[in-house]
Amino acid sequence: MPNANSKPDVIFLDKIESGQCRLLVRWNIVESTKEDPISGDVRTSWDYSERVIWWYLDMPDIGTGTLKEIKAYLTATETTIVNLAKATEINYTNP
């Protein structure tokens, strides 16, 4: 399970290419404290599940879309994006 020293965004826009964007999608974000084994310092850490997915930007004016507009679009579709990312985690087996 990945972890970070700062609270991660649910959706991180990594790059945009040919009308699609590569997203780091995170869920099950849990704050915890960890002790550094060397210094003994206690720090805050966040553990989470993560998937990297490619998402087609269904925006009619993608050529003129600003980064702010694209991020607003991703925020508006966050639930759908997260559910798709979670679905890629499921492993099906035939009984």
Segment 36-49, tens digit of pLDDT: 889 999 999 999 99
- Per DSSP, 51 falls in state E
Domain borders along the chain are 3-87
**Helix segments in the chain, DSSP class H:** 67-76, 78-87
Structure confidence by residue, pLDDT tens digits, 6-26 = 999 999 999 988 888 999 999
- The sign of the torsion formed by the CA atoms of 64, 67, 69, 71 equals positive
Q: Give the type of residue at 94.
A: N
